[in-house]
């Protein structure tokens, strides 16, 4: 995969791709790339208005883009369910689901369902969404893929089952690390369950973007009202980060490359895994702990009320 770029993506005409957080950053660049290869792209956005603005940007670059902008607020499980129901009304199958949206290092807040926001949006929202869409992914002609966006920050995360919502002790970075660690535990456990039930035509793959210049880094400082932190982050992005287009490559590779198998972890292969062309990598040992993954799955099912139906044909 040395030097792999968007130009190496296969044709996707006739395929349907769902991208969460499609209105900015990695989601926007990913949606643009999928559209350029001919896919129908469902842009799942918390704000339809921002989604429409992003779609207009994509159409400037890809005039024949087939885009479907829909509201999907991962901080509200009822909204996630409604989004999934609306797709079921209009689509017979989904070929690729990119669990991309996320929030990072924000002051503590809660979702509509009372979950700590980073854990609720980054993990639980995507856990619920994937479960709701499992039948459509199974219905795809040929292989379908579920790509879950994690982060190198998973290495500083651990799942605190005694305080999952960080009500007793909250640190914005430790909470972010927990959510990104959860993304990997989920992605790998999902692949194990798919395999155990003979769903060999559905793959679960994880990825991370390295350090990419997106708006993700700015939400925390803005919510804190810190002009200084916002300015420092802008300088850091300008000096150290790769572009959002480059940062989207691991997700695009995980979603489309021929040599990807379930349970892989794809990230940029340059300095400190922060930038560069995508490659297969290894996440930390804790993210591969099957006992923790099974426990997190059970807790996530209880919290979201979403049961995965692997018995359907």
Check residue 191 and give its pLDDT: 98
As given in the structure block, the two tokens for residue 277 are: 């062309």
Going from the first residue of the chain to its last (313 residues), give the mean pLDDT of each consecutive group of 10, the final group possibly shorter: 88 98 98 98 98 98 98 98 98 98 97 98 98 98 98 96 97 98 98 97 97 62 49 40 91 98 94 83 97 98 97 69
Check residue 110 and give its pLDDT: 98
Does residue 68 contact residue 80 with C-beta atoms inside 8 Å?
A: no
Element (H, E) at 64: none
Active site residues: 176
* pLDDT tens profile 214-263: 765 444 445 556 554 433 334 334 434 589 999 999 999 999 999 999 99
- How much of the chain exceeds pLDDT 90, in percent? 86
Check residue 218 and give its pLDDT: 41
308: left (phi over 0), alpha (psi -120 to 50) or beta: beta
Question: pTM of the entire structure?
Answer: 0.91
What is the spatial distance between Cα 14 and Cα 27, in angstroms, rounded to a whole number? 20
What is the spatial distance between Cα 253 and Cα 242, in angstroms, rounded to a whole number? 17
**Within 10 Å of residue 47's Cβ, how many Cβ atoms?**
14
Check residue 311 and give its pLDDT: 85
What is the spatial distance between Cα 146 and Cα 134, in angstroms, rounded to a whole number? 9
Contacts of 157 (CB under 8 A, 6+ apart): 174, 176, 177, 178, 179, 180, 181, 182
Please name every residue paired with 204 in a beta bridge, in sequence order, or none if there are none: 146
What is the spatial distance between Cα 152 and Cα 269, in angstroms, rounded to a whole number? 12
What is the spatial distance between Cα 184 and Cα 287, in angstroms, rounded to a whole number? 6
Check residue 273 and give its pLDDT: 65
């Amino acid at each position: 995969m040395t030097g792999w770029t968007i130009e190496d993506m296969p044709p996707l005409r006739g395929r349907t791709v769902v991208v969460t957080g499609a209105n900015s950053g990695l989601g926007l660049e990913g949606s643009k790339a999928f559209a350029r290869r001919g896919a129908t792209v469902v842009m799942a956005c918390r704000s339809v208005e921002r989604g429409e603005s992003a779609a207009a940007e994509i159409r400037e670059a890809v005039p024949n883009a087939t885009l479907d902008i829909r509201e999907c607020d991962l901080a509200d499980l009822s909204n996630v369910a409604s989004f999934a129901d609306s797709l079921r009304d209009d689509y017979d199958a989904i070929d690729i689901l990119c669990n991309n949206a996320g929030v990072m290092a924000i002051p503590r807040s809660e979702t509509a369902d009372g979950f700590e926001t980073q854990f609720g949006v980054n993990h639980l929202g995507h856990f619920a969404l994937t479960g709701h869409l499992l039948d459509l992914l199974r219905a795809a002609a040929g292989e379908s893929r579920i790509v879950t966006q994690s982060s190198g920050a998973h290495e500083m995360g651990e799942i605190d089952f005694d305080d999952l919502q960080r009500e007793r002790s909250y640190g914005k970075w430790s909470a972010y690390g927990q959510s990104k660690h959860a993304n990997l535990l989920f992605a790998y456990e999902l692949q194990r369950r798919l395999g155990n039930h003979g769903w060999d035509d559905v793959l679960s793959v994880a990825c991370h973007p390295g350090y990419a210049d997106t708006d993700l880094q700015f939400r925390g400082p803005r919510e804190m009202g810190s002009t200084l932190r916002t300015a420092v982050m802008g300088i850091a992005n300008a000096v150290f980060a790769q572009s959002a287009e480059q940062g989207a490559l691991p997700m695009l590779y995980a979603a489309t490359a021929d040599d990807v198998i379930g349970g892989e972890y794809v990230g940029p292969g340059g300095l400190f895994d922060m930038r560069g062309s995508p490659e297969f990598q290894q996440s930390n040992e804790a993210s591969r702990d099957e006992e923790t993954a099974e426990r997190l799955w059970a807790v996530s099912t209880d919290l979201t009320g979403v049961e995965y139906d692997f018995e359907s044909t």
